[in-house]
Amino acid sequence: MNSIPVLTLDGPGGAGKGTVGRRVAERLGWHYLDSGALYRLVALASLRQGLDAADTVAVAARIPRLRIDFEGERILLDGEDVSRELRTEAVGRRASALAPASAVRAALIERQRALRRAPGLVADGRDMGTVVFPDAPVKVFLDANLEERAFRRYKQLKEQGFNANLASLTKELRERDERDANRKVAPLKPAMGAEVIDTTGHPVDWVVEKLLALVANTGAGSG
């Protein structure tokens, strides 16, 4: 077992993993992994390289050569800040198409594990506790009802200056929930022993404090 502690945050889109994860990581002084951003980076790179989304082996083969950096809120691909471009619909659709591919997931898993550095890591995704960090001392599954998750995503996109339609977002989230839960490779589900937290109706600060208490109770954040 790796001695560096990890808090895994899994759950469907819009459950609050990103917002909560960044705040918890900042409070603990830990590193932060947005695994969804990694899939979107791969999607963006494959679009730029003109690769067919169906040829997942070719996409996966390019992953080790991608230069990926996280600098605070900025996400860089081969030295270019692509933070805004990662939120476009085209990239999101491509990422969703690539995510179930075993070749792509296998190529990314070691890159994710390499981000486990002292003093600790908060890892946000859909299979962080089940597949990527199964030995994590603190595992959490964040959830919220579909309507609230769609509204959160709608609000986030509008604040970032993107056009957004609430009905379309609700439909997209429902379809992605079904794909994620039913895929053969790393389906979306709570990890064994994970604390399931429903964030519906709760402010971000409430969730953050709940997670910090979980970390403190395990002693994982005492180092």
pLDDT in tens, 174-198: 998 998 888 888 889 999 999 999 9
pLDDT at residue 17, as a whole number: 94
Distance CA 41, CA 94 (A): 10
- pTM > 0.75: yes
Distance CA 6, CA 129 (A): 9
Q: Answer for the pair 66, 78: CB distance below 8 angstroms, yes or no.
A: yes
pLDDT exceeds 90 at position 69? no
Distance CA 51, CA 31 (A): 32
pLDDT exceeds 80 at position 152? yes
Distance CA 32, CA 18 (A): 9
Quote the tokens at residue 164.
């957004």
In the chain the domains, ranked by start, together with CATH numbers, are 1-30+119-217 (3.40.50.300), 35-118 (3.40.50.300)
pLDDT at residue 96, as a whole number: 84
Closest residue by Cα to residue 111 from 159, 162, 69, 154: 69
Mean residue pLDDT across the chain: 92
What b/e string do you get for 140-169 counting C-beta neighbours within 10 Å, with b at 16 or more?
bbbbbeeebbbebbbebbeeeeeebeeeeb
pLDDT at residue 165, as a whole number: 92
pLDDT, average across residues 205-222:
90
pLDDT digits (tens, 9 = 90+) for 94-144: 998 898 899 999 999 988 999 999 999 999 999 999 999 999 999 999 999
pLDDT, average across residues 57-62:
96
